[in-house]
Chain A
């Protein structure tokens, strides 16, 4: 980790990777919170 943080470009790349992981985690949390009927409505709306 120290090697990454010593390099500014690698620090930025690590920040972008963390952002992608955060977006995936956010989506997973939202998915786990939504109920089956809500998911059906959401899917239907997305397909319209």
Chain B
């Protein structure tokens, strides 16, 4: 039991570091750097680096949530947390779920259009790129209280 809980938490944290690390890479490095990159070099980002980063980004989001929910369930606080009867971890869980929803159902579908992974009208690309960027920024904003909540569940601040 102890070993099982350790492994689930370990995998949750590893997946979470990859997810939020890539989220912050997109927002702190890639998006601000794109205007400074010469046009002839932009395909290196759009065709190679971004699709690869997005693969790890969306699957690490999936496994972070999966292992997080498994951890809450095996520890017996899943329902209490989601009902905010344990708000310390509950707020973090809800923020994580909203962020994962954004990744899979807003950011990834729009990035597929923006990067030309799926067929779309040429004028749809800028709109999709902007929508993906704004929801990625939303997740960056939500990651700050989400991480505070996750840490305060282990080290209460109130």
A residues with a Cβ closer than 8 A to B are: 2, 5-6, 8, 11-12, 14-16, 18-19, 21-23, 25-27, 29-30, 33
Contacts and interface: CB of A to CB of B under 8 A. Distances in A.
B91 A27 contact: no
A33 B85 contact: yes
Contact of B148 (A6, A19, A25, A29): A19
Contact of A11 (B137, B145, B148, B157): B137
B84 A15 contact: no
A27 B143 CA distance: 20
A15 B145 contact: yes
B120 interface: no
B84 A29 contact: yes
Main secondary structure, interface of A, reads helix
A28 to B, nearest CB: 9
Nearest to A33: B85
Given A5-B141, A11-B141, 11 more contacts: A6-B137, A8-B140, A12-B144, A15-B145, A21-B145, A22-B145, A22-B149, A23-B148, A26-B158, A27-B158, A29-B84
